[in-house]
Amino acid sequence: QKEVEQNSGPLSVPEGAIASLNCTYSDRGSQSFFWYRQYSGKSPELIMSIYSNGDKEDGRFTAQLNKASQYVSLLIRDSQPSDSATYLCALYNNNDMRFGAGTRLTVKP
């Protein structure tokens, strides 16, 4: 089992819809969780961090963390074509940062 599991996609949603990205992980000791966005040929860009169970909202983005079920998700409301990118889930534990393989999101106009 991979340590950080993401559906590789592609996930395709129409403009204005909600995009839901999911990530599961195996390390129960994971302390911090992050979502990065990576456009093709560019570097990862941090868009959300979440440290405790529940929801965290920032603009059109909402991160959800459930440590008991070992999953973290990212919701993107009112999706825009500019949101088309690969979204990387990452988690931190004990001086180590682990990234998922990423989910490719396409938002169609």
Partner 1 sequence: DAGVIQSPRHEVTEMGQEVTLRCKPISGHNSLFWYRQTMMRGLELLIYFNNNVPIDDSGMPEDRFSAKMPNASFSTLKIQPSEPRDSAVYFCASSYTGINEQFFGPGTRLTVL
Nearest to 16 by CA among 108, 95, 97: 108
Smallest gap from residue 57 Cβ to partner 1 (A): 17
* Residue among 16, 46, 58, 78 that touches partner 1 (CB under 8 A): 46
Smallest gap from residue 102 Cβ to partner 1 (A): 7
**Which residue matches tokens 């074509």?**
81
Stretch that binds partner 1, among 18-26, 42-50, 64-72, 75-83 (CB under 8 A): 42-50
Smallest gap from residue 99 Cβ to partner 1 (A): 4
Q: What is the DSSP string of 50-69?
A: E-SSEEEEETTEEEEEETTT
Within residues 68-107, the interface with partner 1 by CB under 8 A covers 88, 92, 95-102
* Residue among 34, 62, 103, 107 that touches partner 1 (CB under 8 A): 34
Residue 54 structure tokens: 């529940």
Q: Is 99 exposed, middle or buried (0-12, 13-18, 19+ CB in 10 A)?
A: middle
| Bridge partners of residue 32, in order along the sequence | 92
Residues that bind partner 1 (CB under 8 A): 32, 34, 42-46, 49, 88, 92, 95-102
